[in-house]
Structure 1
Amino acid sequence: MGIRKTPRFLAGVSAIAMLGAAGCGEQTVDTGGSQPEAVDEGQPDVLPETTGEVEQEGPQAVDYRMAGEGEGEGGAPSGGEMGIDPVAAANDPVIYLTALEVMRAHYIAGLDALEAGERSAGAEMFSHPISEIYVDLEPVIVERGVDSFMDALTQASVAPYQGASDEEIEARVDAVLEAIDRAEAAAPQAEDMSAVRARVLADLVERAALQYEFAAAEDAPEGAFLDGYGFAETAQRWAERHLEAIAADHAGFADAARDALGVLATAYPGPVSPDDLALPVADVLAANEPVQQTVSGL
């Protein structure tokens, strides 16, 4: 399979720094001092497993290999990070690009949370993708001629704990996003790149819809809502870059995606979870359904 299950990485600043130095693997580090408390937000950002039959109501899981519900602490579903099979990512542009866009979603959500005054929540988002996505994806990125950007990731993750100003944090996150752009420019290619980009968009839409469902079910919905906001915002940005070209080849999918993005914009007006969600969960899930149905035929 393309994506393997791994536990969520929510270590403190010292652990992040050690991870940056090591540049590989997952590790548990006793830093011995005070550090930010690990928060298990109890929700997946990932699609259902696609290696077997999936029992669920509504549309079937998207059949490409950016999949697998990871588990967080105590067996609870984790927040969207996953191990990457480098061989699969090296050959499948959907896996490769989706992994990078999942990373992007965390940095977008974290920066917007920071700007909204949720500094702790924003800071956590900057560390999540490092061990769970990037350390596995890095060999593929480097093999494709892109410089490692572990240092940029580490600098962004530690900045909120180093007393950096909001402007400095934003600059470090921007450096990460620029590195993601460079990595995406070197993505493996397929005969129908419009279909590839449609599948990436469908993945982001489904993640956002599922996170909304999890947020509605949680007593403390902030984490799930912020994750979902990141996916919704990233989906919108991806659509701004690619949906016109997708529509030229796959008009039915593009129509469904536009409708879903409109619903997600209403569902996620900002990074902070409101006291009352803007839309019924059923409406958000229903908007996702035709996206998954149409993308399955591409």
Structure 2
Amino acid sequence: MKQQFKRVTAMGLGLVLTGGLVSACNPASDSETAASAQHAAADSHAAPETDQAAPPPGVTGEGEGGIVVEDASEDPVVYGSALAVAEAHVIAARDAHAVGEIDAAGEMFAHPASEVLFDMEDTFRELGVEPFEDLFLDASAAVFNDASHEEIVERTDAIIARLREAMTSAPDNGASEARIAAGIAADQIDRAVDMYRIAQDNPAYGPYLDGYGFYHAGKTAFDEHEAMIESELPEAAARIREALALLADAYPSAEPQDSYPVNRAELNTASTQATLAVLR
């Protein structure tokens, strides 16, 4: 799998917002501060190097890794998956804020600006999409400046609307809208499953919250296009529904969890079946 190396120059934004480096999408819950060393060891996005062949574009995930940005200007699933990863983070941020996980919420808002959007700058420029990372940074700053939850919801809605606008500039490679949406949903499902596995192996709030966001971003991608996916890709629709049902049990809320009881083999199987059905 091609990996996009993280460019730490963008992490200066975290110093401005928090007085220290923003945790690399592995925020501790406000009740987990004493376990920060364990959380660092369980960094959910340290993608291992591998010589294995790359999976099909747009249907692979490991946190926000696995986005082959050089393909995003030509492949609408890769492009849309990158936007969905950003959306997943703001959903997670909003809902973490709602349950009082303030530090995690602020970090989740900031993270896409230094990762996904930073890596997508050339693609956005090529496709004529105006930069919008300031929306994420402003939302993060608002969290750390004790904004009300109503304001955080408004900022989240504004970011999601901007992401939807950016999606209208997605490249056209002949794929149908249904197939693009199904591919994005399968990508987010895969990421959610991967984060749940990491949370099971190294219990920490960061991977869980990541996965929570990916689950909801995948569900949104499917729900908003369910009728057309059902019509054009009925098997994919069925497999995606099955995977989302399992993920609903895996991610019951944005709150830190005491255990991660959903069977990982069932999750992996459901995710693989959804991906394969989309590719048929």
Q: 1:4 maps to which residue?
A: 4
Cα distance in 2, alignment partners of residues 187 and 290 from structure 1: 26
Cα distance in 2, alignment partners of residues 146 and 53 from structure 1: 33
Q: 1:246 maps to which residue?
A: 229
Q: Summarize deviations over 1:103-131 as a string: whole Å, max 9, x none.
A: 00000011101001111111110111112
1:88 to 61, 71, 75: 71
Q: 1:72 maps to which residue?
A: none
Q: 1:65 and 1:250, CA in 2 relative to 1: closer, same or farther beyond 3 A?
A: closer
Structure 2, unmatched stretches of 5+, are 28-39
Deviation (angstroms), 1:240: 0.7
SS of 1:95's equivalent? helix
Is this contact kept in 2: 1:212–1:228, CA < 8 A?
Answer: yes
Structure number with greater CO (CA < 8 Å, separation at least 6) is 2
2:186 to 202, 227, 235: 202
Is this contact kept in 2: 1:3–1:84, CA < 8 A?
Answer: yes
Q: Summarize deviations over 1:212-265 as a string: whole Å, max 9, x none.
A: 1111111x4211110000011111111111122122121111111111111111
Cα distance in 2, alignment partners of residues 260 and 82 from structure 1: 20
Q: 2:197 maps to which residue?
A: 213
SS of 1:6's equivalent? coil
Cα distance in 1, alignment partners of residues 191 and 22 from structure 2: 25
Structure 1, unmatched stretches of 5+, are 17-32, 55-60, 70-78
Q: 2:220 maps to which residue?
A: 237
Cα distance in 2, alignment partners of residues 278 and 285 from structure 1: 14
Q: 1:163 and 1:92, CA in 2 relative to 1: closer, same or farther beyond 3 A?
A: same
Q: 1:68 and 1:110, CA in 2 relative to 1: closer, same or farther beyond 3 A?
A: closer
Residue 261 (str. 1) matches residue 254 (str. 2): no
Is this contact kept in 1: 2:181–2:225, CA < 8 A?
Answer: yes
Is this contact kept in 2: 1:109–1:271, CA < 8 A?
Answer: yes
Deviation (angstroms), 1:52: 5.3
- TM-score by length of structure 2 reads 0.82
- TM-score by length of structure 1 reads 0.77
Is this contact kept in 1: 2:135–2:159, CA < 8 A?
Answer: yes
Residue 273 (str. 1) matches residue 265 (str. 2): no
1:191 to 151, 174, 178: 174
Q: 1:191 and 1:2, CA in 2 relative to 1: closer, same or farther beyond 3 A?
A: farther
Is this contact kept in 1: 2:181–2:222, CA < 8 A?
Answer: no
Q: 1:82 and 1:52, CA in 2 relative to 1: closer, same or farther beyond 3 A?
A: closer
Cα distance in 1, alignment partners of residues 67 and 156 from structure 2: 22
The farther-off stretch of 1-10 and 133-142 is 1-10
Is this contact kept in 2: 1:146–1:186, CA < 8 A?
Answer: yes
Cα distance in 2, alignment partners of residues 6 and 122 from structure 1: 21
2:142 to 159, 172, 193: 159
Aligned residues: 262
Q: 1:289 and 1:83, CA in 2 relative to 1: closer, same or farther beyond 3 A?
A: closer
Cα distance in 2, alignment partners of residues 168 and 114 from structure 1: 11
SS of 1:63's equivalent? coil
Is this contact kept in 2: 1:62–1:292, CA < 8 A?
Answer: no
Cα distance in 2, alignment partners of residues 83 and 279 from structure 1: 27
Seq. identity, %: 31
The farther-off stretch of 135-144 and 117-126 is 135-144
Alignment of 1:6-155 (within 5 A): 6=6, 13-15=14-16, 34-35=19-20, 38=23, 40=40, 41-44=42-45, 53=52, 62-64=55-57, 79-80=63-64, 85=69, 87-155=70-138
Q: 1:265 and 1:45, CA in 2 relative to 1: closer, same or farther beyond 3 A?
A: farther
**RMSD of the TM alignment (CA)?**
2.9
Cα distance in 2, alignment partners of residues 137 and 183 from structure 1: 12
Q: Summarize deviations over 1:129-187 as a string: whole Å, max 9, x none.
A: 11211123234334434332132222112212223222222222222111111101121
Cα distance in 1, alignment partners of residues 120 and 188 from structure 2: 19
